[in-house]
Structure formats: C-alpha cells, structure tokens
Structure 1
C-alpha cells in the first residue's frame, strides 16, 4: 500500500484519540489529586463548632455540687437539727426551773352592812393590789429508766439522719457524674457530625468536578448538597442537645442555667470492679441499709419507752415564793383601813406517780411498738433484698457494657476505614453516591454507638460504686 494512502487512514484515528485524551484529561488530573481522607482524631476532643468556654473538671463539678446543691444543703440542716436534739435535757434527765411573776390591781366599790351598825359602811374607788412571785424546780429522778432510753434513742436518730445525709450526697454525686459525662457524650456527637460534614463537603467537591468533565449528572451534585444540608440540620439539633445537657448539669451544681462550660475530663471506665467487693461494700457501707438497721434500733427504743412508762415516776419539787396582798377596801368596825399581808418562804417535796389503770392504753402502745419492730425488720430485709438485686443487675450490666464497649471500639476503626476506602473509590468513579452516603451514615452511627457504650459503661460503674458505698467515703460537714 502506498505510504500516502496509509497516512490518510491514520490521521482520522489520531484525531479521535486526541479528542478522547482532551475529554478525559480533567478527569485524569482529578484522579491524580491528593485524596481527601477522614481524620476524626480524638472522638472526645473539643468540637470546632462550639464556642470556647471555661473548662470544668469532674472533680471541680463534684466539689461545687457538694457545696451548693440544694438537696444536700437541706439534708445537712436536718442533720444539724438531729444533732441539736441529742441533749440530756431533751431526754428528761435534767431538772427544770421556772420563774413566775404575777401583779394584779383592782378598784372596787364596797358596801357593807351589819346588824350591829345601823348605817352601812361604804367605800368608793377602793384600790387593792396583789404581788405573787416564785421560782419552782421539778426534777424527775426515776421513771423506769425511760430518760436513759430516750437519750439513746436520740443518739440513734442522729446516726440515722447522718446516713440519710450521706445517701443524699452519694445520690447527688452519682447524678452529677452522669450529667457531666452526658455533656462529654453530646460534645462527642457534635464531633461526629462535624466529621460527617467534612466528608459531605469532599463529596460535593468531587461530584462538582465530575459534573464539570461531563461524567456525572447534575442530579448527583444536588443530592450531595441535600445530604450535606441534612447533616448540618442534624448538627444544629445536636448543639441544642449539648446545651440542654449543660443546663441539667448546672442545675445539679446550683448554678445559673446559662453558665457555659467545657468538660475537661473524658470518659474513662474502671474495668477492675469485682462482684464480691460490691456485695461486701453493701453490707458494710451502704447508707440505705444503715438507715434501715438504725430504724430497727429506734423501734426497739420505742418499745422500751412504753415498758418504762409502767413503772412509778418519782420527782423532786422545790421552790421559793413571795406573796403580798394590799387590800385598800378593808373595814375595821366602821372605819376604812388598808390591810396588807405578806408571805414568803422556801418549799420542797417529793412527788410520786404510780400508774394503776389507764384504759389499757399502755398495753395498746406496747402491742403497736412490737408490731413496729416487726415492720422495721421487714423493711430491713426488703432493703437488703433490693440492694442485692440492684447489685446483681448492675454488675451484669457492667460486664455486658464493657463487652459492648470493646466491640464498638473495634467497630469504629472498621467504620472509619470503610469511609476512607469508599470515599477514595468514589473519587475514582468506582462507586455510586448512594454507597458513599451509606458508608457515611454507618460511621456516624458507629461514632454515636461508641459514645453511648462509653457513657453506659461509666454509668454502670458509677451505680456499682454507689451501691458499695465507695462513691463518697465521707459526707461533708454541714454548713
């Protein structure tokens, strides 16, 4: 074949190849660009879309709660009242001394008639006055030992109120801990949505480039923008959830609801809790169980007080008194005179009261006291059973949530890797937008499940520590 003829056939082929190269050149250049890879970093790091706020650690939050929480402050004042009631005088062991003072004035019109005198004796506006003052002492020296029983009962009530305060403190600390880590969790969710927006923006950029070279329809770009806006809306809702969590924490700390904060601590779960240690802690330190035990002691003291009332009561009385009467309407014969009388002196004596019959009321009270003892014992057993059941359930949750946490920590790595690969394949045109969106949703779900797993595991740990009495070793002093 002549060379001229061959050249005429090759030229159209070269022109077609050049056109194809020119058409694919932007796409090939896009494929050579540096890939956009997800970089979530620390899941519990500070979100970029949240305004800076003063840092607050969990220790500081608990300190503020112990100082300011209204429930704790009310319980502390109840404890102070119980402490003030523990006195010998309140138990009836000390004498009582009372002073009395009376001063009376009278103005009388007097008319006296006598058969020995023909004319009546009349006094108009006669003034009289009376003065009476005394100091009286009473002291019960024997009442069937009831006064000593009453004192021991007051001390037991004080111990019971101390345990009630401790229980209030531990419950408040548990609530503060949960509320604090709820803020940490909601912050982490914002981080997840921020990462989703980065991926969504990368998807929009890649889709726009593919539309520009004519290998993708504009509908794909519109779909990417719609999905991006949906993620932005979810981020706005999550910011509201974070603000609500902060308000709840501030409420427990007795601070203004609008007080902003940034959690300084992340969720770290203690994996070393043992079931036998929790059960031992319940028996030895749990305040609810201690309150129930002391309730049985109070019921026994009540029964002993009823028994003591059956014995005679012996008391001493003593006093010093002054009585003066000035009578301005006294007649001596027919003459009106003023009569003055004065009495003063010391008195003392012994008073004994012997109960003989009171309509069987003491027997009724004693029967009720015995029933109250039985009731208190039943409440103690019920409390013990409830706490053991709570411990069994809480420890089971603790173990399961630790396993779930391990699974989600491994799963989040797979989800992040899957998004990175999917985004790269989408950049090369090997996957559809639907597959990228599905991988993106899977990562968001995995991020949220990991946050929930951390929070739930920490919550189970807090519950176990509260049940075992280890959450607060010593209740704060009343203020």
Structure 2
C-alpha cells in the first residue's frame, strides 16, 4: 500500500492469521492488526493513493489532447433562383444536406516551463503525502503502545493484588485458628476481615480498569470484538545512543522537519511556475477532416466532398495581463519566505521537545532504578516481618503495614517501568526511528 507501511509490516507482523481467540496478543500482532484495521491509517492510505494518481503522467500536462467532432444538417427550403442568363427557377421543399467529421490533435510545445514546475510540485506533493502517512502510522503506533502498556501495567497490578489477597486470606485463617485456641482476641480476626475485604475491593476495581483498558486498545486496533486476551508484560529498553547521536537523527529524520522541507520545495516550484506567465506559449494543432454537401438543384454543384489534413502552429504571448502574473509571483515569494520562517520556528520547537524528552526519559530511568531498589528493600522487610509475625513477636497491624508497603512498592515499580518505556518511545518518535525499532 505504502512504503512505510509495507516495511513496518515486514519488521513487525509475524503472522496476520491469528485472531483474538488466542490467549496472548503480542506486540507484533497488535502492530500488524493496527496497520490493517486502524481507520486513521486507512484514511491516510487513501490520501496517498490520490497523491499518487495526481503525480501520474495522465495528470502531468505533457500528453496531447485528441478531440473528435461530427455533425449532420438537413434543410428543406423554398428557393427562387435567378441565373445569369435570365432563367428563373422556383423550388419548393428542396432538399439539401451537409455532413462533416474531424479529428483534432492539440499539443502544447512550450508554456514557459509552467508545466514542468507544476509536475514537479505534484511529485513533491506525493512525497509530502507519503511523509504524512508515515506520521499517521507513527502516531498510531505510539498511541497503540501507550494503551498496550496500560493494559500490561494493569495486568501486573491484578497479579500483585491477587498475591496480596492470598496473603490476607492466610492471615485471616491464621487469626481464626489463634482465636479459636485463645491465642488472640476477636479483634485480630475483625481486622484481618476488614483488610481482606479492602484487598478484594481493590482487586475488583483494578480488574474493571483492566477491562476498560482492553476496550480502549480495541478501538486503536480498529476491532469491535470481545476483548478476551492477555498481553506481553515484558519491557525491553532499546536506546543505546548518546544524546548527541540522537539529536543528529532528529535533524535528519524528524517527520515534522521532513514535511516542512517538502513544503519549501513545493513553494519554490510554485514560484517558478508562476514566473512562466512572463513567457510565451507555443502550441501545435493538427486536424483531419471530412465533409460532404448534398445541394439542391438551385446550386451549381449538386454534391461536393472534401477531406484532408491541416497542421498549424500557434504562439500566444501575454505582453500585459493586467498584473495578474506579477501578483502571483509576489505572493509566491512571500509564501516561500513564510515556509522558511516556519522551518526556523519548528527547529526551535523540536529542539526544545527533544531536550525535554531526553531529560524526561533519563529521569524516568532513574526513578525506575530507584523503585527497583525500593522493591528489594520492601521484600526483605516483608519477609522478616512475616517471620516475626508468625512467631507472635509483632502485631497484625505491623504485619499489614509491611504488606501494604510491599504492594505499593511493586505497584510503583510497574508504573515507573511503563512510564520509562513510554518516554523512550516518544524520544524514538522525535528521532524518526520509531518505525525502525524492534520491540
């Protein structure tokens, strides 16, 4: 369909035969399904087809025009004819007829190079449409991964809450046994029941959020089926280049800058095409015609037939067109200058966006590393707390606090992981490498 789309499918689409009856929706399959079904990508694909048609030879102006004409006339006249010898002829309802047919070929030999620069504009417009299609794919893939990672994060949170729920169930069972044997008061049982209920509610709410997130993912995929699937929760970071290397890629591959360059080229060709109005136009015309006349008896010739080929050249030069061409040239110069200003403005904005994205990515990586350490600390704390709780050396409240701390630390780690990955994807999009990256 389009080069960017085809290349991306080759990179990421392992097989498009899988359906959502499968248990796991991988990242590769999700990308392939989005490329095939996302409506934004379909619309950009159609726009690209239109641009491809426009740049074709049939729309270039370089082909001649071929026109055919034919006609027939029948007359029924009352005629009084006076001849030079004095003879008079009166005709009533005299029949006469005329027939003609022709084929004309018209071709513009020279139009001041306007046709050439208009054709180059169409080629650049196609290139611009191709870049716009790539931008649509990039934004769709970025949106896809944002939603996909949300599903993955909620999936892991559900797993964490299930584990926490099992711990709370075990704690309640232990409290009941201890209460039955007089080792604890009924208060410990009630506290354990309250905490178990809270864990159950938290799990139920998270499962609802997960279902909603899966429906959001289906919208991006362009599907309208029951979202009964799981996702890949593994996260791999792929950026290995330093800041300067990435910034060089921004200057050469950023999709916004590339589109502005095409806009500048289009404005330049438009300026040159408008200047062609100062030059003459030379055309070639060739016609093959046939005609036949059937005259009434008042004519000297009762019948005549003609056929033949005629060819000619024409030259048209608007020495003064009321200032129309001058105005168009001046406006085209202003538009070209505006495109240059737009480029400079975009370069400033994209440089700022890159610096922000780079710092955001590194900050989130640091937070991720810190959260990993925090989880390890809370794990050790929980294991020690669990041992002392089983020995009856600490209260259930202290045990519960250690349990909640570990759950929060693990949840924060999940959040930090996917925040860092999404920050990396935004950075890759700015560098123009999003579609060239394996996830």
**In structure 1, C-alpha distance between the alignment counterparts of 2:172 and 2:303, rounded to whole Å:** 115
Are the aligned partners of 2:156 and 2:233 in contact in 1 as well (CA < 8 Å)? no
Q: SS of 1:324's equivalent?
A: strand
Q: What residue number does 2:61 align with? A: 92
Asked if residue 391 in structure 1 is aligned to residue 354 in structure 2, the reply is: yes
Q: What residue number does 2:16 align with? A: none
Q: What residue number does 1:32 align with? A: none
Q: 342, 345, 349: which one pairs with 2:312? A: 349
Q: 451, 455, 470: which one pairs with 2:433? A: 470
Q: What residue number does 1:370 align with? A: 333
Q: What residue number does 2:392 align with? A: 429
After TM superposition, the structure 1 = structure 2 runs for residues 278-289 of structure 1, keeping only pairs within 5 Å, are: 278-289=246-257
Asked if residue 409 in structure 1 is aligned to residue 378 in structure 2, the reply is: no
Q: 380, 390, 405: which one pairs with 1:442? A: 405
Q: Which has the larger radius of gyration?
A: 1
RMSD of Structure 2 on Structure 1 (CA):
2.8
Are the aligned partners of 2:283 and 2:314 in contact in 1 as well (CA < 8 Å)? yes
**In structure 1, C-alpha distance between the alignment counterparts of 2:126 and 2:272, rounded to whole Å:** 19
**In structure 1, C-alpha distance between the alignment counterparts of 2:398 and 2:53, rounded to whole Å:** 72
CA shift in 2, pair 1:383/1:128, >3 Å: farther
Q: CA deviation at 1:101?
A: 3.0
Q: What residue number does 2:279 align with? A: 311
Q: CA deviation at 1:453?
A: 0.4
**In structure 1, C-alpha distance between the alignment counterparts of 2:408 and 2:205, rounded to whole Å:** 16
Are the aligned partners of 2:153 and 2:233 in contact in 1 as well (CA < 8 Å)? no
**In structure 1, C-alpha distance between the alignment counterparts of 2:314 and 2:67, rounded to whole Å:** 17
TM-score, structure 1 normalization = 0.79
Asked if residue 454 in structure 1 is aligned to residue 423 in structure 2, the reply is: no
**In structure 1, C-alpha distance between the alignment counterparts of 2:97 and 2:383, rounded to whole Å:** 107
Q: What residue number does 1:232 align with? A: 200
Q: Which moved more, 1:63-72 or 1:450-459?
A: 63-72
TM-score, structure 2 normalization = 0.85
Q: What residue number does 1:272 align with? A: 240
CA shift in 2, pair 1:134/1:410, >3 Å: same
Q: What residue number does 1:41 align with? A: none
Q: What residue number does 2:50 align with? A: 81
Cα-to-partner distance string for 1:190-214 (whole Å, 9 max, x where unaligned): 0111111012112211221232133
Q: What residue number does 2:382 align with? A: 419
Are the aligned partners of 1:320 and 1:347 in contact in 2 as well (CA < 8 Å)? yes
After TM superposition, the structure 1 = structure 2 runs for residues 146-295 of structure 1, keeping only pairs within 5 Å, are: 146-270=114-238, 272-295=240-263
Cα-to-partner distance string for 1:294-319 (whole Å, 9 max, x where unaligned): 10010010010010111011111111
Are the aligned partners of 1:278 and 1:467 in contact in 2 as well (CA < 8 Å)? no
**In structure 2, C-alpha distance between the alignment counterparts of 1:180 and 1:128, rounded to whole Å:** 83
Q: SS of 1:296's equivalent?
A: helix
**In structure 2, C-alpha distance between the alignment counterparts of 1:332 and 1:271, rounded to whole Å:** 97
**In structure 2, C-alpha distance between the alignment counterparts of 1:158 and 1:112, rounded to whole Å:** 65
Q: Which moved more, 1:407-416 or 1:171-180?
A: 171-180
Q: CA deviation at 1:165?
A: 1.8
Cα-to-partner distance string for 1:74-121 (whole Å, 9 max, x where unaligned): 3233223323322445332232222223345x575x555789999985
Q: Which moved more, 1:261-270 or 1:441-450?
A: 261-270
Q: What residue number does 1:12 align with? A: none
**In structure 2, C-alpha distance between the alignment counterparts of 1:121 and 1:176, rounded to whole Å:** 88
Q: Number of paired residues?
A: 414
Are the aligned partners of 1:160 and 1:295 in contact in 2 as well (CA < 8 Å)? yes
Q: SS of 1:134's equivalent?
A: strand
Q: CA deviation at 1:460?
A: 1.0
Cα-to-partner distance string for 1:349-404 (whole Å, 9 max, x where unaligned): 11111112222111111111011101111221222222211111110011100100
**In structure 2, C-alpha distance between the alignment counterparts of 1:67 and 1:469, rounded to whole Å:** 22
**In structure 1, C-alpha distance between the alignment counterparts of 2:361 and 2:241, rounded to whole Å:** 9
Q: SS of 2:226's equivalent?
A: coil
Q: SS of 2:434's equivalent?
A: coil
Asked if residue 144 in structure 1 is aligned to residue 94 in structure 2, the reply is: no
Are the aligned partners of 2:171 and 2:192 in contact in 1 as well (CA < 8 Å)? yes
Asked if residue 65 in structure 1 is aligned to residue 28 in structure 2, the reply is: no
Q: What residue number does 2:7 align with? A: none
Cα-to-partner distance string for 1:139-196 (whole Å, 9 max, x where unaligned): 1111112222222222222222222222222222222222222221111000111111
Q: Unaligned stretches of 5+ in structure 2?
A: 1-20
Q: What residue number does 2:298 align with? A: 332
CA shift in 2, pair 1:130/1:264, >3 Å: farther
Are the aligned partners of 1:69 and 1:252 in contact in 2 as well (CA < 8 Å)? yes
